[in-house]
Amino acid sequence: DKLSNPWGIYVTNQSTYIADRSNHRIQKWDFGASLATTVAGSTSNPGPWSYQFNNPVAITFDPSGYMYILDAANNRIVQWYPSAPYGITVVSAIMSTPLSMEFDPL
């Protein structure tokens, strides 16, 4: 229920998503809720596996509802369908301190 070094944020009409960097997870707060829900990652358990992150710093969504997480210490971008137990690495490259990402609408 506590954030540790929150970094990225994504706001929808119904919820706020936060990249909880030092807890290695993505938290979702529904408007009006008193507690958040972990929707991606494994709390305080960093790692390279498809269900883990190591310092997630940014989050965004595509028009189909897929969530994309910039997993900085693992040098990757992970595609995650909300409610899925794991994600799929869609970009893996050596990055120098990545802090944000966005989709090109074209």
pLDDT one-digit tens code per residue, 48-100: 999 999 999 999 999 888 999 999 999 999 999 888 999 999 999 888 888 88
Q: What is the pLDDT of residue 106?
A: 62
Q: Name the phi and psi angles at 78, rounded to 5.
A: -110, 130
Domain of residue 19, residue span: 6-92
pLDDT number for residue 39: 95
Express each pLDDT in 8-64 by its tens digit. Answer: 999 999 999 999 999 999 999 999 999 999 999 999 999 999 999 999 999 999 988
Local structure of 20: helix, strand or coil: strand
Sign of CA dihedral 82, 28, 41, 103: positive
66 occurs within a structural domain: yes
- Specify if 80 maps to a domain: yes
* Residue 99 is assigned to a structural domain of this protein: no
Which of 18, 62, 60, 25 lies closest to 43, judged by CA?
Answer: 25
The total domain count for the chain is: 1
